[in-house]
Structure 1
Amino acid sequence: MGYNALDNAKMNSLHKKITALSVGGTFLDGYDISIISVALIVMSKPVYGLNTDFGKAMIAASTVIGMLFGAIIFGYITDLYGRRTMYMYDMALFIVLTAAEAFSWNFASLFILRFILGLGLGADYAIGATIIGEFSPVKYRGKLLVTNVLSWFLGAAVASISGFLLLPLGNQSWRYMFLLGIIPAVIILILRRDVPESARWLTNKGKTKEAADVERELTGTTDNLAIIKRDNKNPLKELLSRKYLKSLLFVGIFWFTFDASFYGISIFSPTILELLGLKARMAILGSAVFDMFAILGSVIAILLIDRIGRKGITIIGFSGMVVSLAALGIITFYVPNKSAFITDGALIFAMFLIFYVTEAIGPGSTDFVYPIELFPTEDRATAQGFGTSVSRVGAILGITTFPFIVTIYGFSTSLFFFTGLSVIGLLATVFLATETKGKTLEEINEIEEGKIKTAKSGAK
Structure 2
Amino acid sequence: MSNSVIEESNFTPFLKKLTIYCSGGPFLDGYILVIIGAALVQLGPHLHLDAYWSGMIGASSLAGLFLGGLVFGYLTDIIGRKTMYTLDLLALVIGSILQMFISTPMELVILRFIIGMAVGADYPIATSLLAEFAPQKYRGLMLGGLIAMWYVGATAADIVGYVLVDIPNGWRWMLGSAAIPAILLIIGRWGTPESPRWLLSKNRVEEARAVMKKVYGPEADIDDCEEEIKQTRFGKIFEAGYFRRTIFVGAFWMCQIVPLFAIYTFGPVILEMCGLGHGKEAMLGDIILSALFLIGIVPALMFVNSVGRRRLIIWSFVFMTLGMLILGVFPDASAWVIIAGFAIYALASGGPNILEWIYPNELFPTDIRATAVGMGTAISRIGACIGTYLLPNWLQTYGLGTTMLIMTGITFVGLIACIALAEETNGLTLAQAGSVSKSVNQ
The verdict on a shared fold, with TM-score over 0.5 as the criterion, is yes
State the 1:217 CA deviation: 2.0
Tell me the CA shift for residue 223 of structure 1.
3.0
Paired residue type of 1:401:
L
1:300 counterpart residue number: 299
What CA distance in whole angstroms lies between the structure 2 residues aligned with 1:17 and 1:227? 21
CA distance in 1, matches of 2:308, 2:318: 16
RMSD, matched Cα: 1.8
Quickly say closer, same or farther: Cα 1:226–1:266, change in 2 above 3 A: closer
Question: CA contact under 8 A between 1:204 and 1:228: conserved in structure 2?
Answer: no
The aligned residue for residue 438 of structure 1 is 427
* Residue in 1 that maps onto 2:197: 200
Q: 2:161–2:174: 8 Å Cα contact kept in structure 1?
A: yes
Equivalent position to 1:401, from 390, 409, 412:
390
Contact 2:6 2:225 in 1 (8 A): no
The corresponding residue for 2:399 is 410
Q: Which residue among 183, 202, 214 is the counterpart of 1:217? A: 214
Relative distance call for 1:377 and 1:234 in structure 2 (3 A) is closer
Partner of 1:455 in structure 2? none
> Equivalent of 1:161, from 159, 162, 166?
159
Q: Which residue of 2 aligns with 1:458?
A: none
d(CA) in 2 for partners of 1:237 and 1:45? 47
- Residue segments in structure 2 that go unaligned for 5+ positions in a row: none
Q: Which runs of 5+ in 1 are unaligned?
A: 453-460
Does residue 372 of the first structure (1) align with residue 365 of the second (2)?
A: no
Measured in 1, the distance between the counterparts of 2:172 and 2:318 equals 39
Paired amino acid for 1:112: I
Q: 2:171 aligns with which of 160, 171, 174?
A: 174
Deviation per CA, 1:248-307: give whole Å up to 9, x if none: 111111111111121122211111011123111011110010111111111222211111
Q: 1:316 offset after TM fit, Å?
A: 2.3
1:77-124 per-residue CA deviation (whole Å, 9 max, x = no partner) reads 000000011111111111111111121111111111110111100000
- Looking at structure 2, the residues matched to 78 and 289 of structure 1 have their Cα atoms a distance apart, in angstroms, of 37
Partner Cα distance (1:9, 1:450) in 2: 22
1:2–1:442 Cα contact (<8 Å) kept: no
Q: Residue in 1 aligned with 2:346?
A: 356
Could you tell me the percent identity over the aligned residues?
34
Match of 2:264 among 263, 266, 269: 266
Within 5 Å, give how 1:36-185 maps onto structure 2. 36-45=36-45, 47=47, 50=49, 52-170=50-168, 172-185=169-182
> Residue 197 of structure 2 contacts residue 225 of structure 2 at CA under 8 Å; is this kept in 1?
no
Q: Deviations over 1:16-62 (max 9, x none)?
A: 10010011111011000010111111114362x51x21111110111
Q: Secondary structure at the match of 1:369?
A: helix
Which amino acid letter does the alignment assign opposite residue 214 of structure 1?
Answer: V
Distance 2:72 2:83 in 1: 11
Q: Does 1:319 align with 2:318?
A: yes
Residue 235 of structure 1, CA deviation: 2.6
Structure 1 residues 309-337: Cα deviation after superposition (integer angstroms, max 9, x where no partner): 111221122112111110111111xx3xx
Which amino acid in the other structure matches residue 281 of structure 2?
A: M
Contact 2:30 2:150 in 1 (8 A): yes
CA distance in 1, matches of 2:270, 2:245: 35
User: Which region of structure 1 is more displaced relative to structure 2, 204-213 or 140-149?
Assistant: 204-213
Distance 1:6 1:239 in 2: 25
Are positions 1:241 and 2:229 aligned together? Answer: no
The C-alpha deviation readout for 1:222-245, integer Å capped at 9, x for no partner, is: 134399553443431211212311
Paired positions, count: 438
The answer to whether the 8 A contact 1:254-1:426 is kept is yes
> 1:351: how far off?
1.5
